Each structure stands twice: as structure tokens, then as C-alpha cells.
């Protein structure tokens, strides 16, 4: 009887130190940066699948798929702020009756302390909401095992061109 109980307890005891070591080594990181979506002009960083002009199949761009390689900068000004990386991936017009995007992108750090690491972000972006929250679903390099969330706030939107600058705050456990 006692031996059977020990057999049950031993694996738990053996596993406990490893688990606590992992959680005690975990870091919380906050990163603030600016995401620039340039949808027009010779240096556009966002192109619709197919490469043509953005065709709004509806008022909400439902059904449109955009591939992005958007610059990420430390400050809000694309021309003068330090470039820290790129947001590479896609966003999809996923709302039939509202301007709601499905974001699916990697933040690829190319300068500073996170150079060479990436953070994977996926989530719903209702672009006219003041704050949009998306999931941080993973990462590489310094962000292995990452989980957390991102909050996006529109900093500037040019209604004529559609170009946008968005402030992103990432809250990451890794």
C-alpha cells in the first residue's frame, strides 16, 4: 500500500523542480513601436494578393487579402525614427458588415537588443476601434515560448491614400 502511494508521488516530486525553474526564469517584456502601412506610391509596403490595385469588394474590404512588409520604428515618424524591424505577413478583410481585419504577421527585429528575434501576432483588428487587442502566439530567438498580447492604436491615418501609422504595445511573457 505504502509503496503504491510512493510510486504515485515520486513522479510528481521529480517533476516539481523543473517546472518551478522554468517559471522563475520567465521574463515579462513590454515593447512599444510604430507600424507603418504604406498602401500607395512607389515605395508601398502593402500589396493586395495578385499585385493589382486594392479592390474593395465591399465598403469593409471584405475578402481582400493584403501582403505586408511594413517598417517598424521606435518613434511615430517613418522618415526620422529609428528603424527596428519589419512586420511581415498578411491581413485579410474579414468583416462583411464592419471594417474588421484578421492580422497574421511576424514582427521581425533587425536592430537593437532584439535583433534577430521574431514575435508572431495573430488576431482581430477592428480598425476604427480606439484600442484593438491581438494575441502574441509565439516567437523565436529571445522570444522562444512567447505568449501575451498586443494593443494597437491608430496614430495617423491618411484618408486619401489609406496610409496608416499604428502604435503597437506588446506585452510578452517568454
Ligand X SMILES: *[C@@H]1O[C@H](CO)[C@@H](O)[C@H](O)[C@H]1NC(C)=O
What are the residues binding ligand X (CB under 6 A)? Answer: 41-43, 110-111, 115-116
Closest CB to ligand X among residues 83, 137: 83
Hey, what's the cell of 23? Answer: 517559471
Select 35 or 109, whichever has its Cβ closest to ligand X: 109
**Rounded CA gap, 107 and 33, in Å?**
10
Contact 39, 56 (CB under 8 A): no
| Closest to ligand X by CB, 98 or 158 | 158
- Output 134 or 163, the one with its CB closest to ligand X: 163
The least CB distance from residue 71 to ligand X, in Å, is 11
SS3 content of the chain, % helix, strand, coil (to 5): 15, 45, 35
What is the C-alpha to C-alpha distance for residues 87 and 166, in angstroms, rounded to an integer?
Answer: 12
Tell me the closest approach of the beta carbon of residue 83 to ligand X, in angstroms. Answer: 9
Q: How far is the CB of 50 from ligand X (least distance, A)?
A: 23
Amino acid at each position: 500500500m505504502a509503496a503504491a502511494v510512493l510510486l504515485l508521488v515520486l513522479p510528481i516530486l521529480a517533476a516539481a523542480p523543473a517546472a518551478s525553474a522554468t517559471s522563475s526564469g520567465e521574463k515579462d517584456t513590454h515593447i512599444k513601436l510604430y507600424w507603418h502601412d504604406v498602401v500607395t506610391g512607389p515605395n508601398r509596403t502593402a500589396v493586395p494578393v495578385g499585385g493589382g490595385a486594392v479592390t474593395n469588394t465591399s465598403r469593409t474590404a471584405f475578402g481582400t487579402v493584403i501582403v505586408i512588409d511594413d517598417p517598424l520604428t521606435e518613434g511615430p515618424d517613418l522618415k526620422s525614427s529609428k528603424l527596428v524591424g519589419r512586420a511581415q505577413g498578411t491581413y485579410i478583410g474579414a468583416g462583411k458588415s464592419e471594417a474588421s481585419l484578421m492580422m497574421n504577421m511576424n514582427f521581425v527585429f533587425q536592430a537593437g537588443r532584439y535583433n534577430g528575434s521574431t514575435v508572431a501576432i495573430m488576431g482581430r483588428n477592428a480598425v476604427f476601434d480606439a484600442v484593438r487587442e491581438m494575441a502574441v502566439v509565439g516567437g523565436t530567438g529571445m522570444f522562444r515560448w512567447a505568449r501575451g498580447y498586443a494593443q494597437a492604436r491608430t496614430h495617423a491615418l491618411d484618408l486619401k491614400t489609406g496610409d496608416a501609422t499604428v502604435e503597437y504595445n506588446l506585452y510578452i511573457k517568454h
